[in-house]
Chain A
């Protein structure tokens, strides 16, 4: 089942808009059109999605982005949601979120996968430029294992690798520093612009911790660090974003640091943190914050459940998802960094449901 041309045309129209320079009034009609067409497409091609939406806005378009229906993010773990035939599957993405949980099932076809890359390129170029920089990956090479199934970690590394050259892994499989590799990378590129990428916790606990304890000293004053994956573990250690940046600067001399918020369910249309510490929705995606008690749209400045929307996925119905993350929208189009679009912050996860009563199903 191929993507309807109407949707593809609408997506292409969206891609002509600059990711961070399109004001709300120009962005929204174009993005809304794409999302409405995706909704219609998934209603037509995914029977589970059609069943779920039976009494929602099937057959007529939503007139605002906030009135679009959405799926609870956990459904991607509980169900096999797929809008393509099995023969069209190019890759299946699995994310487990937290260890021990059922992984999400995200089937990708070539079209969706290529759209993910295109959008990611468009977004990342805004932050790291068009040139491919020497890249230090704060992980070990085994994290990107070849094969059909793909972890979100592997996919993240692979997706970002596209923006670098001379890829060097900073860690060994036992998570200790690969001192030799780091030294070589340092001796070659120390005074040049370089790109570093890793998962937030890994950068903190396995890279910076070990650097501090080791004899090796590195300095990349022109380096850029991109990191992602959530603050949960660092919050438990009471590490703030500022503390993270300060320690990174002390140990590596890097000043350009961009955290980004994204998830396996919406690869590509990520939300990158600006110089003022806010995450920004690019033109290809949008976020809404909902009251966790009523699911009504929250006014700006109020914390709630984050709903993410992406123009990308046509192989699975993941264009509008209610996450289990808590966050706050701070404004639209008026961030001090001058980028347009909705800007927000993520404050943590929705607390886990408790099991009470006579039975304990805790295993």
Chain B
């Protein structure tokens, strides 16, 4: 069977040996070697000059610090967990750092991991793989290195089919289409799938909280932090802003976001992409008003406009919906909604509204500014429990 397969390229090692990989040993959860590897990666991402240019890599560097990983460990304290075995990770075509988080979660659970990375060139991917490769070459990480391989192969090849049959879990990034494609490949009967489908996120901002320019600037800065990385294309970056209460400061608020955007370099195509979407939406008469159309675009959409109908491509565009009352929120939240960020609202009040059992969406409710902070419970999955076996002792 292997003879018929296309070549597989190792991006983290000199060569890839399938049998060697499947023979490599598993680790206990939160193993010392795993933690020192995370520590070394963290140090590299936070000090390497090339990595420091990318806020995505800096965030990952912070996330990998001991304190943060020990904080997550509290969730599994007292449980008797064993690794699941071999995990196949399918990462998005346009690689960013998100798949790193799910890989680290699997690593912390002691699994061996095959991470399929696309062949597409990307600066961030190159920096990450270089860092991983250099850590793996150290003798102290030899065992970890043989149990973790970054590979690439042609999408059309039958490697996915072959590997799916041999692994104990698959972590599938890449949205609806990729998820369906990968899940069509048969697995063993006990194989677990963690599928990250297409999601989108929203923010709720209470206009009543803005009493002075400091409060405006603070929330604007946090919304910017949530939307600037990945050109607002991460599934947890808010694209729709539900505006509650006082409208008086709406313009000043988006002006503050615009000021932050003006001070940041953008891709050369972004401005044109925003023009295309704004003109396209305007052509059908669904744009009530344009609050800002400069380094960001913020527009109020007609109340009747079905928000799930528009394919929001990111690129720093904010669809504003003026909410007359918080109680009107559930009608907008379909199953696609992943994260709700909030500013100026008591969590309890928000939870009262969101607790309505018929809301199918919403897997995270976090303060504005934390939309992109990865937690081992992500998109409705507890990655630690999905990627480990819990033994019940009585």
Which of B90-98, B212-220, B352-360 is the interface stretch?
B90-98
- Our pick among A48, A352, A354, A356 for the contact of B283 (Cβ within 8 Å) is A48
Chain A 326-363, CB-CB to B under 8 Å as 1, else 0, gives 00000000000000000000000011111111111111
The residues of B with any CB-CB pair to A shorter than 8 Å are 92-94, 96, 98, 118, 173-178, 196, 198-199, 230-231, 233-235, 237, 266-273, 275-276, 279-280, 282-285, 290, 294, 313-315
In the complex the two chains form, what is the Cα distance from A292 to B178 in whole Å?
33
Q: A54-B282, A72-B279, A363-B177 are in contact. Are A353 and B92 (CB under 8 A)?
A: no
B272 touches A357 (CB 8 A): no
Chain A 63-106, CB-CB to B under 8 Å as 1, else 0, gives 00000000110110011000000000000000000000000000
A361 touches B175 (CB 8 A): yes
Q: A55-B290, A359-B198 are in contact. Are A353 and B275 (CB under 8 A)?
A: no
A52 touches B313 (CB 8 A): no
- Our pick among B174, B176, B269, B280 for the contact of A78 (Cβ within 8 Å) is B280
In the complex the two chains form, what is the Cα distance from A295 to B271 in whole Å?
8
B296 to chain A, nearest CB (A): 12
Nearest chain-A residue to B283 (Cβ)?
A48
- Our pick among A75, A352, A361 for the contact of B269 (Cβ within 8 Å) is A352
A199 to chain B, nearest CB (A): 25
A360 to chain B, nearest CB (A): 3
A74 touches B269 (CB 8 A): no
Interchain Cβ contacts under 8 Å between A and B, 10 examples? A48-B283, A51-B285, A52-B282, A75-B276, A293-B268, A295-B275, A357-B237, A358-B98, A358-B196, A360-B92
B315 touches A353 (CB 8 A): yes
In the complex the two chains form, what is the Cα distance from A294 to B313 in whole Å?
19
- 13 A-B pairs besides A48-B284, A75-B283, A292-B269 with CB distance below 8 A are A78-B280, A79-B280, A293-B271, A305-B272, A322-B272, A352-B269, A354-B267, A355-B93, A357-B230, A358-B98, A358-B233, A359-B198, A360-B118
A356 touches B231 (CB 8 A): yes
In the complex the two chains form, what is the Cα distance from A298 to B145 in whole Å?
53
Q: Is the interface of B mostly helix, strand, loop or mixed?
A: loop
B273 touches A353 (CB 8 A): yes
Interface: A178 (CB within 8 A): no
B275 touches A72 (CB 8 A): yes
In the complex the two chains form, what is the Cα distance from A333 to B176 in whole Å?
55
B279 touches A356 (CB 8 A): no
In the complex the two chains form, what is the Cα distance from A305 to B269 in whole Å?
10
Nearest chain-A residue to B99 (Cβ)?
A358
In the complex the two chains form, what is the Cα distance from A75 to B276 in whole Å?
7
Q: Which residues of the other chain, B, contact A74 by a CB distance below 8 angstroms?
A: 276
A351 touches B269 (CB 8 A): yes
Nearest chain-B residue to A353 (Cβ)?
B269
Q: A293-B271, A305-B272, A351-B268 are in contact. Are A357 and B279 (CB under 8 A)?
A: no
B275 touches A354 (CB 8 A): no
Q: Which residues of the other chain, A, contact B267 by a CB distance below 8 angstroms?
A: 351, 353-354
B155 to chain A, nearest CB (A): 10
In the complex the two chains form, what is the Cα distance from A294 to B283 in whole Å?
22
A-B interface, 6 closest residue pairs, ranked by CB to CB distance from nearest: A359-B175, A357-B233, A360-B93, A48-B283, A360-B92, A357-B234
Nearest chain-B residue to A352 (Cβ)?
B269
B226 to chain A, nearest CB (A): 13
B266 touches A293 (CB 8 A): yes
B231 touches A75 (CB 8 A): no
B290 touches A324 (CB 8 A): no
In the complex the two chains form, what is the Cα distance from A292 to B173 in whole Å?
32
Q: Which residues of the other chain, B, contact A49 by a CB distance below 8 angstroms?
A: 283
A353 touches B313 (CB 8 A): yes
B305 to chain A, nearest CB (A): 13
A356 touches B230 (CB 8 A): yes
In the complex the two chains form, what is the Cα distance from A48 to B178 in whole Å?
35
In the complex the two chains form, what is the Cα distance from A355 to B173 in whole Å?
14
In the complex the two chains form, what is the Cα distance from A294 to B96 in whole Å?
27
Most buried by B among A351, A359, A363: A359
Give the residues from 49 to 63 in chain A that come closer than 8 angstroms, CB to CB, to chain B.
49, 51-52, 54-55
B310 to chain A, nearest CB (A): 12
B268 touches A350 (CB 8 A): yes
A292 touches B93 (CB 8 A): no
In the complex the two chains form, what is the Cα distance from A168 to B315 in whole Å?
49
A357 touches B285 (CB 8 A): no
In the complex the two chains form, what is the Cα distance from A351 to B93 in whole Å?
18
Nearest chain-B residue to A291 (Cβ)?
B271
Q: Which residues of the other chain, B, contact A324 by a CB distance below 8 angstroms?
A: 272
Q: Which residues of the other chain, B, contact A48 by a CB distance below 8 angstroms?
A: 283-284
B98 touches A357 (CB 8 A): yes
Q: Which residues of the other chain, A, contact B173 by a CB distance below 8 angstroms?
A: 358-359
Q: Which residues of the other chain, A, contact B93 by a CB distance below 8 angstroms?
A: 355, 360, 362
B304 to chain A, nearest CB (A): 15
A357 touches B266 (CB 8 A): no
B282 touches A51 (CB 8 A): yes
Q: Which residues of the other chain, B, contact A75 by a CB distance below 8 angstroms?
A: 276, 279-280, 283
Q: A52-B283, A295-B275 are in contact. Are A358 and B175 (CB under 8 A)?
A: yes
- Our pick among A51, A54, A294, A359 for the contact of B174 (Cβ within 8 Å) is A359
- Our pick among B175, B234, B271 for the contact of A294 (Cβ within 8 Å) is B271
In the complex the two chains form, what is the Cα distance from A75 to B275 in whole Å?
10
Q: A293-B271, A354-B231, A357-B235 are in contact. Are A362 and B94 (CB under 8 A)?
A: yes
Give the residues from 285 to 312 in chain A that come closer than 8 angstroms, CB to CB, to chain B.
292-295, 305
Q: Which residues of the other chain, B, contact A79 by a CB distance below 8 angstroms?
A: 280, 283
Q: A324-B272, A350-B269 are in contact. Are A360 and B279 (CB under 8 A)?
A: no
Q: Which residues of the other chain, A, contact B96 by a CB distance below 8 angstroms?
A: 356-358
Nearest chain-A residue to B284 (Cβ)?
A51
A44 to chain B, nearest CB (A): 16
Most buried by A among B96, B173, B237, B279: B279
B103 to chain A, nearest CB (A): 14
In the complex the two chains form, what is the Cα distance from A137 to B278 in whole Å?
42
Q: A72-B275, A294-B271 are in contact. Are A361 and B283 (CB under 8 A)?
A: no
Most buried by B among A353, A355, A356: A356
